[in-house]
Amino acid sequence: MHTEAVSGWFSAQIVHSGRLPLFWFFAAFIVGFVGIRVSVRLIRAGVRWWPGNLIAGAVHVHHMVFGVILMAIGGVAGLAAPTFELFWRAGAAAVFGLGTALVLDEFALILHLRDVYWANEGRLSVDAVFTAAGVTALLLMGVSPIGVRNVANINQLPGSPPAETTLVVTVTVLFVLAVVTLLKGKPWTALLGVVVPVALIVGAVRLARPRSPWARWRYRNRPVKLARATRREQRLREPVIRAKDRIEDLLTGPHGKPLARLAHQLPAADRMSPRQLRVSPEDRRSGS
């Protein structure tokens, strides 16, 4: 009975709602991320029976390279698939999801243009993966961004021009609030505001983080506000960030730890000086 209930829910909420491609994207994304993290942690631990890093001559081939290839294959296959071929599109979405996991797992490397996989900066990759997984999960559950469920039907409403104008104004205001929230250094609040718009109002009104672009532009000549923002950062945000980092390190492996024993796994041409990396030499010698 329980299996039948789950099967009925899956058919109604995923298959018949057209979310099957999104479901397979999500499933492949999670499997890809878990798989690659297990792999790099085995490499980091120096497990002898595990293949280790892929080295082509003097080049350390990062797994984001394969991710880009898979994203290209999945994207083109999805575009080429007929609209009515749901399972074909679902397969393409799975390939795209797997590639996305491999790319986002090295998002920090792309941003910094250096190998910071196990450095403190590498936590940004984990943040990117968790963010993408969270947004996809919300979409799977039927959550609609800014509460708009069917824009196409707006023309069928009585008095549609005013309704359309209201929608445009609402989306514009929310977009401005989201930009302000991001400039104030609050990406998580901005993300939450996509599904809970009131969060954007709170994020845009409250003080900016002290190192955010908004603080640099607006608080330069307002030391009292900057001091308040700094105190709030130290009192409220930093303990939360430390807790988040501990949870992420528990799930994905500790960042910012020495990895000197892995030096032999990278070719000489792939080893850069600490000045070039701006991180310790041990952080550079990572399995990724």
Q: Using 50, 70 and 90 to split pLDDT, how confident is the model at 279?
A: very low
Residue 258: helix, strand or coil by DSSP? coil
How far is residue 216's CA from residue 221's CA, in Å, rounded to a whole number? 9
pLDDT in tens, 222-271: 989 899 999 999 998 889 889 989 998 998 989 986 544 444 444 444 44
Q: Is residue 78 part of a domain?
A: yes
CB 126 within 8 A of CB 143: no
- Which distant-in-sequence residues (6+ apart) come within 8 Å of 150 by Cβ? none
- Which distant-in-sequence residues (6+ apart) come within 8 Å of 271 by Cβ? 263, 281, 284, 285
Lowest-pLDDT range of 9-13, 58-62, 162-166: 162-166
Phi, psi of 204 (to 5 degrees): -75, -30
Domain count for the chain: 1
**What is the Cα gyration radius of the chain?**
23
Mean of the per-residue pLDDT values of the chain:
82
Average pLDDT, integer, range 91-120: 94
Q: Is residue 254 part of a domain?
A: no
Per-residue pLDDT at 280 exceeds 90: no
CB 275 within 8 A of CB 93: no
pLDDT of residue 40: 94
By residue range, what is the domain housing residue 20?
1-143
How far is residue 32's CA from residue 93's CA, in Å, rounded to a whole number? 13
Q: Is residue 95 part of a domain?
A: yes
Triad 185, 105, 141: Cα angle to 5°: 75
- Name the residue with higher pLDDT: 19 or 260: 19
Q: Is residue 268 part of a domain?
A: no
Q: Is residue 277 part of a domain?
A: no
CA atoms within a 13 Å half-sphere pointing along the CA-CB vector of 156? 4
Q: Is residue 176 part of a domain?
A: no
Q: Using 50, 70 and 90 to split pLDDT, how confident is the model at 55?
A: confident
Q: Is residue 236 part of a domain?
A: no
pTM (predicted TM-score) = 0.76
Q: Is residue 149 part of a domain?
A: no
Provide the token pair at 122. 């590498």
pLDDT of residue 125: 94
Q: At what angle do helices 63-80 and 86-104 cross, to 10 degrees?
A: 160
CA-nearest of 219, 213, 137 to 179 is 213
CA-nearest of 193, 153, 197, 137 to 13 is 137
How far is residue 40's CA from residue 52's CA, in Å, rounded to a whole number? 8
